[in-house]
Amino acid sequence: MSDQPKTGEAYAGCAPLRLGQKAPEFTARSTQGVVRLSDFRGRWLILFSHPADFTPVCTSEFVAIAKAAKAFEALDCALMALSVDSLFSHLAWIRAIRDRFDVVIDFPIIEDPTLEIGRAYGMVGPDDADASSVRATYFLDPEGVMRATTCYPASVGRSIDEMLRMVAALQRVHGGDALAPEGWHPGSDLLRVPAQTVESVLAAKDASGWFYDPIPDGATR
């Protein structure tokens, strides 16, 4: 595979990415050199877009994400950002963030000037001229399959705590042995995967026990 970023019609005809689908491969320039999506196989990855460099909400997000880098690393979860801005814009923004907030952005920020990646992932519509109206987040498992996604407007920043919680929850239920209830955090109760037989329904201790059965985290490991 060439080290040159893909351009032109590489992603023509791609439909928006859906849960359970494998994320489209790409090669692109970034603040940490040329990167490929496949470089991140074997670990979880959060791929997220931001409307533009040098904007207030995006800056607040990147500062918070950089400060939470050790928490993401503890989950063995890599980070990769992208926007339509040029590589030189990304680099200048990183310098401005360091000088203002004394934090270093040490994850790659991809340039997507032609919106090829954005369109392939459904971040923007086929006729959109830019990606300034949305901040999308994709949670990819170690095989590159999308397991969750969020979409925020340009005027509202993402919650870094929720991003971390989402990764932890996805990792915990990835084996299919349990379900994560509302607001789940590591160590709190999970829910048993309901059996789907008449026998299990009739054998339950009450009318709801067969489909709602809290279990301690660790009980199914």
The answer to the question of residue 46 being in a domain is yes
H, E, C per residue of 67-94: HCHHHHHHCCEEEEEEECCCHHHHHHHH
My answer on whether 99 and 152 are in the same domain is yes
The answer to the question of residue 103 being in a domain is yes
pLDDT tens per residue across span 146-198: 999 999 998 999 999 999 999 999 999 999 999 999 999 999 999 999 988 89
Residue 102 has a CB neighbour count (10 Å cut-off) of 8
My answer on whether 179 and 78 are in the same domain is no
* Residue 82's CATH number: 3.40.30.10
User: What is the rounded distance in angstroms from the CA atom of residue 199 to the CA atom of residue 186?
Assistant: 32
The answer to the question of residue 85 being in a domain is yes
My answer on whether 106 and 36 are in the same domain is yes
Q: What is the mean pLDDT of residues 44-57?
A: 95
The residues that are catalytic are: 58
Quick check: 47 pLDDT over 50?
yes
Helices (H) and strands (E) in the chain, counts: 6, 9
Assessment of whether the complete model's pTM goes beyond 0.85: yes
The answer to the question of residue 162 being in a domain is no
User: What is the rounded distance in angstroms from the CA atom of residue 192 to the CA atom of residue 210?
Assistant: 9
Average pLDDT, the chain: 89
Overall number of domains in the chain: 2
The answer to the question of residue 169 being in a domain is no
Where a domain ends, among 128, 157, 186?
157
Q: Are 71 and 178 in contact (CB under 8 A)?
A: no
Can you give the pLDDT at residue 11? 37
Can you give the pLDDT at residue 195? 86
My answer on whether 47 and 147 are in the same domain is yes
Q: What is the mean pLDDT of residues 195-202?
A: 86
My answer on whether 89 and 136 are in the same domain is yes
Can you give the pLDDT at residue 7? 36
Quick check: 82 pLDDT over 60?
yes
The answer to the question of residue 4 being in a domain is no
My answer on whether 133 and 186 are in the same domain is no
User: What is the rounded distance in angstroms from the CA atom of residue 138 to the CA atom of residue 64?
Assistant: 18
> Domain span at residue 215?
175-221
Backbone φ and ψ for 167, nearest 5 degrees, come out as -60, -45
Quick check: 9 pLDDT over 50?
no
Can you give the pLDDT at residue 209? 86
